[in-house]
Amino acid sequence: MAIILTVNGESRSLDVEPEKPLLWALREDLHLTGPKFGCGLGQCGACTVQLNGAAVRSCLLPVGALAGASVDTIEGLTRSGALKSLQDAWIAEQAQQCGYCIPGFIVAAHSLLRQTPQPTDAEIDAAITNICRCGGYLRAKAAIRRAANATGAAL
């Protein structure tokens, strides 16, 4: 039975098993490959998307539970311009090495800044538990601070 949900603002019908994780429905069925597979265990955050506006790890989230929900991926949030200040900050800080983790970091950071527009370093550390194996944490943190300063509460 098809599951109807909103992805990046558009109604989409997914004819997949209800237990299929959202990550794989996005990547395989909707060809949205911005969210990345990193662990499949909810540990690394490479697959982070927003579910009804809150950051979630999509690799463990069965689509069957998402009927009627609204999902936003890096692609949709980029298109709508919601991530612009974060993306600009990432570029200003050159916060990248391999970059595989970046979509997850940026989507998680966007969610953090919506809840806490001016996070302290401790709040960033607590909220951003994504893994960057290249070790670019300090630049990612600087980018989040920069985006927070640039946008204030406007995000």
Partner 1 sequence: MSETSKSSRSAPNMTRRLFLIGGSVVAGVAATGLIVGAGWLASHDTEGLSGKIDEDGTARLNAYVWIRPDGSITLGVPRTEMGQGVFTGLATLIAEELEIDLDDPRVSVVHPVEQLAVYTNFMLALDGVRPEDQTGPVMWAQRKLFASFPYIGTGASVSTMGAWVSYRVAGASAREMLKSAAARRWAAPIDELVADRGFVVHAGSGQRAAYGDLAVEAAAMPPTRRPDLKPASEFRRIGRDIPRVDLRAKTRGEAIFGIDAGPPDCLYGAVAMGPLLGAGVASFDGRAARAARGVVDIVQGPDFIGVIADSWWRASKAAELLEIVWTGGDSTFSSETHAAAMRQVVATGATGKVRETLGDAQAALTIGALVTADYSAPLQVHAFMEPRGGTALFHVDGTAEMWGSAQSPLALRWGAEGGAELAGIKIKGDVVCHVAMTGGGFGGRSEKREFVQAAVMAARVPGRAVKLIWTRQQDIQHGVYRSHAAARLEARLNDDGAPLAFRAHVAAQALQESFALRNLPQMAGGDLMDDEFGIEGLANLPYEIPNVEVRFTHMQTPVQIGFWRCNGHSFNVYFAETFIDEMARAAGRDPLEYRIAYAKDKRGRKVLERLKDLSGWGVPLPEGWARGVAFKPSFESFVGQVAEVSVAADGAIQVERVVAVVDCGVVVNPDIVRSQIEGSIVWGLTAGYQGGITYRDGVVEQSSFADYPVTMMKTAPRRIEVHIVESAERPGGVGEPGTPPIAPAVANAIFAATGKRLRELPIQLLA
Residues that bind partner 1 (CB under 8 A): 16-17, 20-21, 24, 28, 31-41, 43-44, 46, 73-75, 78, 83, 86-87, 90-91, 94, 96-103, 106, 121, 124-126, 128-141
Question: What does DSSP say about strands 3-7 and 70-72: parallel, antiparallel, or unpaired?
Answer: parallel
Shortest Å, Cβ 149 to partner 1: 18
Q: What does the alpha-carbon distance between residue 69 and residue 85 come to, in Å, rounded to a whole number?
A: 26
Residue for token digits 């974060």? 86
List Cα–Cα distances, 129 to 25, 74, 85, 107, 150, in angstroms: 24, 18, 21, 12, 23
> Which one, 65 or 134, has the nearer CB to partner 1?
134
Q: Smallest distance, Å, CB 83 to partner 1?
A: 8
Compute the least distance from the CB of residue 124 to partner 1, in Å: 7
